[in-house]
Amino acid sequence: MKPGVLFFDPKDSLREALNVFIQARAVDWDLFFVTDLSQATEFAAHPSVHAVVAEAGPGILDLLEAAPNKPSAVVGEGAESDAFDAAFDWEDLAENLDEFLAGSFAPSGMPTYADLQRKLFLTQAEFAWRLAMAAEDRDQEHANHPIRVACTAKILARTLGLSEQYQDTIGLAAMLHDVGKLTIPKSILRKKGKLTEEELAIIRTHCLNGHEILSTPFPGSPDVEDERDNESVLAMARVIALQHHERWDGAGYPSQLKGEEIDLAARIVAVADVFDVLRCERPYKQAFPEDQAIDMIRDESGKQFDAAVVGALLESLPEVRQLIFSLADPVRSNAA
C-alpha cells in the first residue's frame, strides 16, 4: 500500500504545481486532492490518509482536528505569517513527507495537530501557574494553594462526568481564581488575626479586580468572548475569578448570584477552594482536621455550595486527600 497524502486545495490552485514538483522528485505517494472542506474533514480520518497538507483559510482547524495524530502542514498565502509559511516550503515539506511516509511511517520532524495542541496546553499551563504564583506570593505562605485548587477542581469535574476538555480547561483556569489578590495590599493578606470590616471589604474586591485583569483586551485581539463561553481557558478563568465567592443561597459576593445563576466552573472551584483553605494553615487559623473540614463542607451543602459538587468531593475524597498531601506548601524560613 502506498502512503497517502491528503491535499486540501479549496481554490484548486496547488494541484498542477504539486504534481510537477512531486513527479520531479519521483516520490511514490497516493495523492488525494479535495476542494470541499467538509469532504476533506471527513476524508482526513480515513486509514488511507497518512498526512495532511492544507491551504490556510477558514475552517482549517476543523480539518486538522479531524486527524489529530497525523502529520500536517499549512501552506499558502493565508498562513499566519511569512515565517510560518517558509517553514513549510515545498522542498522542506517534501523532505518531511518523505521521512514520514517511508517504510513503517515512523514519526518525523513533521508536527501533528496533537503535538501542537500539547505544546499549546503546556504553554498555557506554565503561564497560568506563573501568574497564579505572582498573586499567591503576596499571601506568602500558600505557594501551592492555586495548583491544589486547580487539581481538585479537575478531579471534581471528572467525578461530575464532565468532558475531558472541560476537565483540562478548569485544571488551568482554576489556578487563576485569586489573581485579583495582585491588587490587595500585602499588609492585609499577611495579617495575623481577625480582619476589620474595612479590610474585609478590600479583600472582597479581589473578585472584581481579578475579572478585570483577565478581561483587559489584548491589543489587536478580537472582542472578549461571552463570559458563558467556557471553551477557552481565559473565558473560564474570568468567570471563576468573578464568581468563586458567590453562594448557592444567594448570600455571596460580589453579585449575590443564586443557584445555577452561578457558573458551574465557579461552583466547582468554590468547593475546592474552601476545602483547601480549611485543610491548610493560614496566618489567622490552624488547619482543620479532615473530618471536621468535611463536616463543615457538608453542613453548607445546598446553602453555600452546590450539593452536587459537595457530593463529588465526598466521592473523590481519597484522591483529593492524596493531592493535598503531595502538594503541601513548602516550609518557609522566618529569617529575613
Beta-bridge partner residues of 5 = 31, 51
For 265, the enclosing helix (H) or strand (E) is helix 264-279
Q: What is the pLDDT of residue 100?
A: 55
3-class secondary structure, 250: coil
Domains of the chain and any CATH numbers:
4-111 (3.40.50.2300), 114-326 (1.10.3210.10)
pLDDT at residue 55 in the model:
72
Q: Is 181 a catalytic residue?
A: yes
What pLDDT shows up at residue 298?
A: 97
Among the listed residues 154, 181, 194, 285, the single catalytic one is 181
pTM over 0.75: no
pLDDT of residue 291: 95
The DSSP-derived string for 36-95 is: -HHHHHHHHTSTT--EEEEE-STTHHHHHHHSTTSBEEEESTTSS-HHHHHTT-HHHHHH
pLDDT score at 199: 94
What's the burial of 327, exposed, middle or buried (CB within 10 Å: 0-12/13-18/19+)?
Answer: middle
- d(Cα 76, Cα 85) in Å, to the nearest integer? 7
pLDDT at residue 269 in the model: 98
> What 3-state class would DSSP assign to 7?
strand
User: pLDDT tens per residue, the chain (336 residues)?
Assistant: 567 778 787 776 666 656 665 665 555 667 777 888 888 888 887 877 777 877 777 777 777 777 776 767 676 554 443 322 333 355 566 666 655 555 434 444 445 445 555 555 555 666 666 666 666 654 445 668 888 999 999 999 999 999 988 998 999 899 889 989 888 888 888 888 888 999 999 999 999 999 998 887 765 554 544 444 445 888 999 999 999 999 999 999 999 999 999 999 999 999 999 999 999 887 677 889 999 999 999 999 999 999 999 999 999 999 999 888 888 876 554 433
- Please name which of 329, 307, 320 lies closest in space to residue 152, comparing C-alpha atoms: 320
Task: State residue 36's pLDDT score.
Answer: 84
Angle at CA of residue 271, ends 312 and 187, nearest 5°: 160
